[in-house]
Amino acid sequence: MTKDAIKKKLRDLKKREVEMRTEYGARPIPLSALVWDAFFSEKSLKGPRYSVDQLYQMASDERKTVFEEYFFTVTIKHYEEMGLSYSLLYDPSVLSVLGLHVGASPQQVKDRFRSLAHKYHPDKGGDPEIFRTLLEAYEKLK
């Protein structure tokens, strides 16, 4: 992906966030409250997590994970603003501990946890630290 394509993608993400959170102009939100501003910058600034240069240097899968994490955060923010429950949405960083994608179902989470717990359980010769990490991640997803 070229730097220009990344810039275009970032502008598109910002536009989509504004559309989603304002319900296509039906309700106002202060533009200073955009999640986009905490995640991205088209310049090399220190405030946001990712600049265009950083995104350019990432592998495609890494960039995809960043965009998924951003979209998840926007969705959570929107749900909070609307007073809706977001209990069925999973944090992508927690899902990645289990090796799952953002759209994983509750059954997929449960199955994957059981598989990894069996593999890493200390009683079965597995690593206790990895097992503890898996337990913590699963508790957050339950």
Give backbone dihedrals phi and psi of 7, rounded to 5 degrees, phi first.
Answer: -60, -45
pLDDT value at 51 more than 80: yes
Amino acid identity for residue 26 in this structure: A
Mean pLDDT over 90-109 rounds to 81
- The β-bridge partners of 41 are 51
Reference 13, options 80, 86, 73; nearest CA is 73
Report the pLDDT value the prediction gives residue 86, as an integer from 0 to 100.
60
Least confident span in 5-9, 29-33, 127-131:
29-33
pLDDT value at 71 more than 70: yes
Least confident span in 28-32, 80-84, 90-94:
28-32
Q: How far is residue 88's CA from residue 126's CA, in Å, rounded to a whole number?
A: 30
Residues near 3 by beta carbon (within 8 Å), at least 6 away in sequence? 52, 53, 56
Report the pLDDT value the prediction gives residue 135, as an integer from 0 to 100.
92
pLDDT value at 80 more than 60: yes
Give backbone dihedrals phi and psi of 85, rounded to 5 degrees, phi first.
Answer: -80, 140
